[in-house]
Structure 1
Amino acid sequence: MNSPPVAMPPPHPFTLRLALGLIGVLIATLSSGLNDRVTDLALADIRAAIGIDYDTGSWITSSYQAAEVAAMMIAPWLAVTFSLRRFTLVVATGFASLAVIQPLVTDPALFITLRVIQGLFGGALPPMLMTVALRFLPPTIKLYGLAAYAMTATFGPNMAASLAAFWTDSVGWQFAFWQVIPPCLIAALLIGWGLPQDPLRLERLRQIDAFGMLTGCSGMALLILGLTQGERLEWFESPLIAGLLLASAALLVTFFINEWYHPLPLFKLQMLQRKNLAHGLLVLAGVLMVSLSGSALPSAYFAQIDGFRTAQFAPLALTIGLPQLIIAPLVATLLNLRQVDCRWVLTAGAGMMIASCLLGTQLTDEWARQNFWLIQALQAFGQPMLIMPVLMSATSVVMPPEGPFASAMFNTVRGFSSVAAGSLVENFLTHREKFHSHVLVDNLGNRPWLITANSSDAASSLQPLLPDGSASSTENLSHFSTLVKHQATILSISDTYLLIIGFALLLVLLTAWLPKRVWPPQTLINSVSPTTRTTS
């Protein structure tokens, strides 16, 4: 049973006032992303300040992410029902209010509870940005609005390292939370003044998808908790993780069946029959995985090999983040050219990411920050060249009344994939490091020179330590163990670069097979249906 179309208010003229309202939504969304990433980077300082151990502290991040993605599923439905401006204002001010309270709480249970509530508010903001972009932006500047949305995945996360380092090292860990208060207040003023006020549509409550909200949100939350806590609790050896993952699978299957038949669903799954939208959701998940090569892997190298703190890694993250202010609009301008096929732009972006990862596989323990500059420069261009074509292609087959459905699906996939990709990379690094450690130690007994394959320093250091193939003292053994760990870490990071290259190649194959050619939005002003927006 197909759901009825969502009746949308008539088009609103695009004025300076409306543009400022959209900027307000962008500011609020960027603040939400920064809060998530900055508090994650500053977690060690936060745990120390409020007296939470490592195991308990891990739930601070997990619970926030679970609540965040759950909120992404229902926010567009609620925004249509209670009006876009009213809902966005409540969410932005609620998010800022919780930021005021959070650092003042020292009880671990209450701290995590407040973090869950803030995650619900924070997760509701990114869908609002996509919703207003799809609804209000005229075709001539639509791609620039989508570029602003893309910057929440490229600009914000890469700025977080510098902010986290500044607050924790120079000011105080509390400002990892309080930093969002001024921008959220500014955003609320712009949203309240700039966005038009739609009427309440409380009649939609008679067809509320309560069962879908319950099964979908709880299933997604349990899945994210299982993914983020699985490695720490040894996966299916833990009854808790087994229960979380099995319950989430059952709930999500039930949710998708319910959504297919519900007259007013959260997700309009019938839209996935459009190849470009299905391609966009699949590739988006892969893009988030590939993008980790510019942040997670260099930071893992500097943290484990050189013992860098966040402040010392931050300049590399800025190499990707700051140029987005220029590169993202340039990519939007390129995609606005009728002669340019966005599928080729996506492929070129994947090529840059592959080249970046190939350079990363040459990693040795002698590398310093300057060895990463070219890698990060390729990432700075490659990331928006991947994300922007995906947004252009996927939204080209979405009609304005379907915007809330597309926003819910797109942002849920984005939120879940970000968590899943981070979990996959972290677990892959851990297991490959263990594998390489065992191989190095096993081979060293008879052939100690094998450990020198990636490090001349290790070679010179091991000669006095192991003259006859065995450690002679506790001090020497400790030094030897450190050298082995460093080499295993370097090899595991190189393996992860190769894994990400595989994902990038898969994106290229999907792009060659699934989507159809789309044209810039301004050339489609007279289009009357999604089918007229694509050509083979």
Structure 2
Amino acid sequence: MSATATQNPDELVEYGFRRVIITITAVMCALLEIVDTTIVNVALTDMRGSLGATLTDVAWVITAYAIANVIVIPLTSWLSQQFGRRNYFAVSIIIFTVASFLCGNATNIWELVAFRFIQGMGGGALLVTAQTIITESYPIAKRGMAQAIYGMGVIVGPTLGPPLGGYLVDNFSWPYIFYINIPLGIIATMLTLSFVKSPKYAEKLKANQVDWWGIIFLISFIGSLQFVLEHGQQDDWFDDGLIVTLSVVSVFGLVAFIWRQLTYKHPVVNLSVLKDGNLRVGTIMCFILGFGLYGSTLVIPIYTQQILGWTATDAGMLLIPGSLTTAFMMPIVGNMIQKGVPQTRLVAIGFAIFFIFTTWMYLVMTPDTGTEHFFWPLIMRGIGLSLLFVPITTMALSTLKGKQIGEGAAFTGMMRQLGGSFGIAIITTFITRFTQSHRVDLVSNLDVTKPNVANRVSQLQQGFQSKGFSINESLQKAYQALDFSVIKQATVMSYMDIFMYLGILFVCCIPVILLVKKGKTKVDMSEAMH
């Protein structure tokens, strides 16, 4: 039989100093994992130079980590039951820390990619396990607050990555974005072994009972899908043979995985938990949350660097005030849930605020937008995120009981990660396509016979002539400068389109909340025995 918890959930509740230490340990581990998903983004150029890699090769540094993450998350509940939660959590931290050291010492790009995959395997376990550990350490009356504390790490983490990575790269070198994990990992390991309790489990599965085929099908489905999402745009999607092949493998893996989990006696992932209507809606909401969180975290730094010419550090620092707003609001939202404010109302307000944020961004985006134009929209984004994360998680699990809560938490975590992957893939694709479309429209209106266009070309030509270029060279450079201006404006318009469509997506989510049944306001995460 699959392992189940047999100890009293109250035995896991901690008080005073021990609970503070466990809370710090769990949040630190969640932050380590989340920050490492974005911290490498600003270091890719330096990695290319020192390792002699191409842009396509260095992209695997991100892809390998993401694939390992998404594979491990749905297996976390099952692995915790097989090895014991504390042991599994501690080993995952050790794997993550050792892999971080190896990443910093990689001598070529493929060594780095291999070590990043191993790092992702260790890191993927930290998210959901940290959530369960921190929640079970609090009494039931304070579980909403526990979710809020955990949510601070998950929401703030992606934003901290770029500025931290930019600072380390600018002042030291790219290996230090990995070395910074080592002391924190050592401390987290010692604290975990010293303070974290592990539930008692019934008899574990024997080797011949383990659903190896289920694990293989899951890896083929998730791994192939993640690769397609990460590399689809740069490889021209289904015009590339490898993308087509992996898309087929992903579909086959999904079908085979579902069949295996529904028919095997000891499944690694319990799909029957998805019969719960609230969990189904909650997983969709988590997908949308990941889409908006990671999508907007990607778009804003790229826009500020590509269009406004900011440094990586400046682009990352722009997101800090909004993240601090989220961190400030999280405990307030957790307290509101504990006092009985309906989760559905908070989620609806959160999506409405996110719509205001995207509309505001649509209105302020120009080739000359400054920091002052971004500040308040990003504060609004921070408020919206705080109103979404904890209520969505609580709402998704509100009608589940016992071990199903842990299984449901794994689904919500996986869908949040997949939502981020889909968001990044779709947004980067649309930016490219929208830019091309807007450029065609703008160029069609550039008629050199029109006085205003002719005057602009003449001014540019005279400017280049004053710098010593010949008449023909100056004219050629004038046309190039005009084309660059057109491309820049087309790109700005494509970003405006992205924010407009994100806003529409968030508004459309509000009616879906009406499908949610009223469940428990205070979810007993201790029943999960994750």
TM-score calculated relative to the size of structure 2: 0.91
Contact 2:393-2:412 at 8 Å conserved across structures: no
Structure 2: gaps (5+ residues): 463-471
Contact 1:267-1:409 at 8 Å conserved across structures: no
Equivalence for 1:221: 223
Equivalence for 1:114: 115
Match of 1:473 among 472, 475, 490: 475
Match status 1:411 vs 2:452: no
- Report the residue type matching 2:174 in the other structure: W
With 298-307 and 250-259 compared, the bigger mean Cα shift is at 298-307
Contact 1:6-1:401 at 8 Å conserved across structures: yes
Equivalence for 1:181: 182
Contact 1:47-1:57 at 8 Å conserved across structures: yes
Superposed displacement of residue 198, structure 1: 4.3
Q: Equivalents in 2 of 1:481, 1:251: separation in Å? A: 46
Contact 2:461-2:475 at 8 Å conserved across structures: no
Equivalence for 2:353: 352
Equivalence for 1:445: 447
Match status 1:424 vs 2:426: yes
Contact 1:346-1:390 at 8 Å conserved across structures: yes
Q: Equivalents in 2 of 1:298, 1:464: separation in Å? A: 33
* Counterparts of residues 249-398 of structure 1 (less than 5 Å): 249-292=251-294, 294-338=296-340, 340-362=341-363, 363-398=365-400
Match of 1:246 among 239, 242, 248: 248
* Counterparts of residues 109-258 of structure 1 (less than 5 Å): 109-198=110-199, 203-205=204-206, 206-258=208-260
SS at match of 2:266: coil
Q: Equivalents in 2 of 1:177, 1:370: separation in Å? A: 33
With 379-388 and 472-481 compared, the bigger mean Cα shift is at 472-481
Residues 297 and 36 (structure 1 numbering): CA distance in 2 closer, same or farther, change over 3 Å? closer
Q: Equivalents in 2 of 1:378, 1:82: separation in Å? A: 43
Contact 2:41-2:162 at 8 Å conserved across structures: no
Superposed displacement of residue 318, structure 1: 0.1
Q: Equivalents in 1 of 2:431, 2:169: separation in Å? A: 27
SS at match of 1:329: helix
Match of 1:464 among 442, 455, 459: 459
Superposed displacement of residue 353, structure 1: 0.8
- Report the residue type matching 1:166 in the other structure: Y
Superposed displacement of residue 199, structure 1: 5.0
Contact 1:275-1:515 at 8 Å conserved across structures: yes
SS at match of 1:177: helix
Equivalence for 1:454: none
Equivalence for 2:7: 9
Equivalence for 2:84: 83
SS at match of 1:232: coil
RMSD, matched Cα: 2.7
Contact 1:440-1:450 at 8 Å conserved across structures: no
Superposed displacement of residue 429, structure 1: 0.9
Contact 2:292-2:420 at 8 Å conserved across structures: no
Using the aligned pairs only, state the percent identity. Answer: 20
Contact 1:135-1:400 at 8 Å conserved across structures: no
Contact 1:73-1:408 at 8 Å conserved across structures: yes
- Report the residue type matching 1:379 in the other structure: R
Contact 1:22-1:195 at 8 Å conserved across structures: no
Contact 1:283-1:390 at 8 Å conserved across structures: yes
Equivalence for 1:511: 513
SS at match of 2:7: coil
Residues 19 and 275 (structure 1 numbering): CA distance in 2 closer, same or farther, change over 3 Å? farther
SS at match of 1:444: coil
Equivalence for 1:456: none
Contact 1:154-1:383 at 8 Å conserved across structures: yes
Structure 1: gaps (5+ residues): 452-458, 530-536
SS at match of 2:265: coil
Contact 1:76-1:407 at 8 Å conserved across structures: no
Q: Equivalents in 2 of 1:123, 1:230: separation in Å? A: 23
Deviations 1:396-437 (A, max 9, x none): 223232233123212221222211111111111111011111
Equivalence for 1:455: none
Superposed displacement of residue 39, structure 1: 1.3
Deviations 1:11-34 (A, max 9, x none): 214234255234312211211111
Superposed displacement of residue 461, structure 1: 5.1
Q: Equivalents in 2 of 1:204, 1:414: separation in Å? A: 29
Q: Equivalents in 2 of 1:462, 1:483: separation in Å? A: 12
- Report the residue type matching 2:158 in the other structure: P
